[in-house]
Amino acid sequence: MKKNWVKLNLFYIGQSAKKHQIFRAKQWNENLEKIFKQPVFNENYHKIGFIKDIFGPIDFPFISIKTLPNQPFTPDNKFFIKIS
């Protein structure tokens, strides 16, 4: 299967008590449900973490990203995932 890069359109909310980065989706459709537990990459296509959880309203859910240790995180970056 061929994997395609998809840019996530996210709004940064803040950091959770478990040190996960919480975002709100600005755009959402059913195809994006496949991103659960998938790796997240920055705009340089370096792996920065993975989708830990998706929760909240169906139209514009919250997305929790667990970042990798010793990996710099900037909420203003563009984030990408691969979906098949």
pLDDT digits (tens, 9 = 90+) for 32-62: 888 889 999 998 889 999 999 999 998 899 9
Residue 3: the pLDDT is 64
Residue 5: the pLDDT is 87
User: Is residue 73 predicted with pLDDT exceeding 70?
Assistant: yes
Residue 54: the pLDDT is 93
| Strand ranges inside the chain, DSSP E | 4-8, 10-15, 21-25, 39-41, 47-55, 62-67, 79-83
Average model confidence (pLDDT) for the chain? 89
User: Is residue 81 predicted with pLDDT exceeding 60?
Assistant: yes
Q: How far apart are CA 33 and CA 21, in angstroms?
A: 18
User: Is residue 72 predicted with pLDDT exceeding 60?
Assistant: yes
4-83 topology per CATH: Thrombin, subunit H (2.40.10)
Q: How many CA atoms lie within 13 A of 25 on its CB side?
A: 23
Residue 2: the pLDDT is 52
**At residue 73, what is the residue type?**
F
